[in-house]
Structure 1
Amino acid sequence: MKIFKEKLGRILASIALVVVLLGGVVGYTAWYHLFREVPITYASPEEHFKYGSIGTEPSQGVPYWIWLVLPRIFADKLPHPGGYTALGITWEEGKETPVGFTKKTIGFPRVGITCAVCHTATYRTSPLEKPHIFPAGPSSKFDLQGYIRFLGATAKDPRFNADSILDEIKYNHEFSWIENLLYRFLIIPQTKKALLKQDADFAWMNSRPNWGPGRIDPFNPVKFNTLQLPQDDTIGNSDMMPIWNQKLHQNFALHWDGLETSLKETVQTGAIGDGATKDSLPVADLQRVEDYITELSPPKYPFTVDEKLAAKGSQIFASNCASCHAFGGERTGTVIPVDEVGTDRHRLDMWTQQAAETYNHFGDGYPWDFSQLRKTDGYVSVSLDGLWIRAPYLHNGSVPSLQDLLAKPENRPKTFYRGYDVYDSQKVGFVSEGEEAKRVGFKYDTSVAANSNQGHTYGTDLASDDKQALIEYLKTL
């Protein structure tokens, strides 16, 4: 009997060991294929800005192989041929992802967005030229709303299933048997579920005017989705901003309405707005972004400048514009009451005192806690560094060129096309009319709510020759 008990004990111990080992193998396999996080590092600050993670992948990342094939399966849901570039996305030759998109492995490779997706400017001199790319400038062509809607539309389509997606992935990548099982029964179904939830979370967009390329409603998503505040009927549609040259922007109010005064908080809230969570916010990586945009100078105007005319324009600028727009100007970087500047107030009204107070408590208990968010009564008198590539103009991007901005509001274009990055050096802006601009671009109608091109009448009374001289000078900033 004693011998039997000893043998039984050894058998049970062996079984227990096998169970533990099998459990360990299963646990390790699950961790490796679903949760293992592989850091990504770029030595170049510019590459880090364009492709480095800002913490969006855990909650918002789309599995890379699924993301890669969606435009091929669902080409009919894009505005025109070209894959993701049809949404105004810039793809550098030889890169796995476009500018502003990062590929990071968390169990499996995932694609998330970065600051650069909205803050990278481009221009071309002709339709066939490759784009010139300027990190930290404002995108004039990326359609973020279109991208969100595209992902949602694919998830609603019956073709979003394991058979269709896995068959398409085979053209690019061969999964192992375990990866194939995970994608078929877990990753693809969960991605579909997540994209449907994201689509529902952004359903509030459908009751408001479309953003169009180069524009974003930056804080309603934060109010409704991040802070879980009650939905209202505000419209925050506004142009994407340049974020370069911060070394000369110290103590400036930040964002169009000056709702922030801390650059560090602005970078961190930007990552949260893009999909990072409290636990995924990569503070050290975001510090690299802050350091980069602090030292980065804006690009110089690439075309010929009439130096004599620009010298005359410099004097006109000093007399008419410098107090609000020159570095060192007494009002530069401060908030000007909306009643004075007269521009569309929808973006201002979108941000509320309740939102500011709630966001200031969002990070309570975390080392990166916020405290500088606020509510203001107007728009910031921005500096004009790199102005030549910041078209369209005004905070809502309602005026296509500098030439149009110096016209009286009633004479500014009432409709035009934005999202086409071929440059118009005569008007100082992007080509905004004609067949190609119409084909590629978004029709901007200034009669639509939040799209008004009124206000900012400064300089509109200048003589025609003085306006031309001023524009020539503004090219040099």
Structure 2
Amino acid sequence: EAPVYPFSIDSDLAAQGKQLFENTCATCHGTYGENYTYPNLLVSLESVGTDPYLSNHYTTSSTVNDYFLDWFNTGWFGSSENNLHIKAEGGYVAPPLDGIWATAPYFHNGSVPTIADVLNSTGRPLRWSRSFDNTDYDQSKVGWNYTIQETKVDKNTYDTSLMGHANSGHTFGDAFTETERKAVLEYLKTL
């Protein structure tokens, strides 16, 4: 079971966000609550537009690829009620979002520090760093407080210009207004 969000939640705003989420995001990420759904959807690289490096790596024939497919197909995803089994076709499985507030940074490669940045692709930092203090949480943006870096400072700077580290894609939230984004953020805190 996912950890409960430890800070206050605006329930009216979260209710608005739930409606937006179910109309826009649930096709890939499922619905939540008593009658939840999880579609186990493999989303093509063309659709999601996120960094293709990992997916491309695992769609070429190799021992590592075979090991990964076996791990995936015999693990939680493969044994779920939907019995998802994948072949090396390219793309990413849209993850369930239970406890998403606690899983920053976001995307499969950890390239996006907050959910606010996931929902607004124009606000994503090119290079960023954060402290590793467990109290360094950004409640308003839902994720890590971070500092934008002009250049790569050290190993703690995430540089999205490096191969496999891009923060591109998943631009679906760009269609939301700022008010709608805040509502979706508030709803995601409840998962």
TM-score higher than 0.5: yes
Deviation at 1:309, TM superposition (A): 0.7
Residue identity in the other structure for 1:304: S
Provide structure 1 residue ranges, at least 5 long, that are not aligned to the other structure. Answer: 1-296, 363-371
Whether 1:404 and 2:104 are equivalent positions in the alignment is no
Residue identity in the other structure for 1:353: S
Match of 1:442?
A: 156
Q: Secondary structure at the match of 1:459?
A: helix
Alignment of 1:161-310 (within 5 A): 297-310=1-14
Match of 2:78?
A: none
Does the 8 Å contact 1:338/1:345 carry over to 2?
A: yes
Q: Which of 96, 104, 108 is 1:395 aligned to?
A: 108
Cα distance, 1:315–1:417 mapped onto 2, change above 3 Å: same
Q: What CA deviation, in whole Å up to 9, does each residue of 1:148-201 have, x standing for no partner? A: xxxxxxxxxxxxxxxxxxxxxxxxxxxxxxxxxxxxxxxxxxxxxxxxxxxxxx
Q: Which of 330, 333, 340 is 2:47 aligned to?
A: 340
Q: Secondary structure at the match of 2:22?
A: helix
Q: Secondary structure at the match of 1:451?
A: coil
Q: Which of 55, 63, 73 is 1:355 aligned to?
A: 63
Does the 8 Å contact 2:50/2:169 carry over to 1?
A: yes
> What's the Cα RMSD here?
2.8
Cα distance, 1:316–1:449 mapped onto 2, change above 3 Å: same
Cα distance, 1:358–1:469 mapped onto 2, change above 3 Å: closer
Q: Secondary structure at the match of 1:444?
A: strand
Deviation at 1:376, TM superposition (A): 3.0
Match of 2:76?
A: none
Does the 8 Å contact 1:414/1:446 carry over to 2?
A: yes
Match of 1:150?
A: none
Question: Per residue, is there more helix in 1 or in 2?
Answer: 1
Deviation at 1:359, TM superposition (A): 3.7
Q: What CA deviation, in whole Å up to 9, does each residue of 1:131-155 have, x standing for no partner? A: xxxxxxxxxxxxxxxxxxxxxxxxx
Please list every run of at least 4 consecutive aligned residues from structure 1 whose deviation after the TM superposition is greater than 4 angstroms. 327-330, 438-441
Residue identity in the other structure for 1:312: Q
Whether 1:321 and 2:25 are equivalent positions in the alignment is yes
- Structure-1 separation of matches of 2:65 and 2:186: 44
Q: Which of 128, 134, 153 is 1:416 aligned to?
A: 128
- Structure-2 separation of matches of 1:303 and 1:357: 41
Does the 8 Å contact 2:125/2:148 carry over to 1?
A: no
Deviation at 1:460, TM superposition (A): 1.3
- Structure-1 separation of matches of 2:128 and 2:148: 9
Deviation at 1:323, TM superposition (A): 1.3
Does the 8 Å contact 1:338/1:377 carry over to 2?
A: yes
Deviation at 1:357, TM superposition (A): 7.3
Residue identity in the other structure for 1:384: L
**Larger relative contact order, structure 1 or 2 (CA cutoff 8 Å, min sep 6):** 2
Cα distance, 1:314–1:441 mapped onto 2, change above 3 Å: farther
Q: Highest Rg: 1 or 2? A: 1
Q: Secondary structure at the match of 2:6?
A: coil
Q: Which of 404, 429, 432 is 2:143 aligned to?
A: 429
Match of 2:92?
A: 379
TM-score by length of 1: 0.32
- Structure-2 separation of matches of 1:357 and 1:432: 34
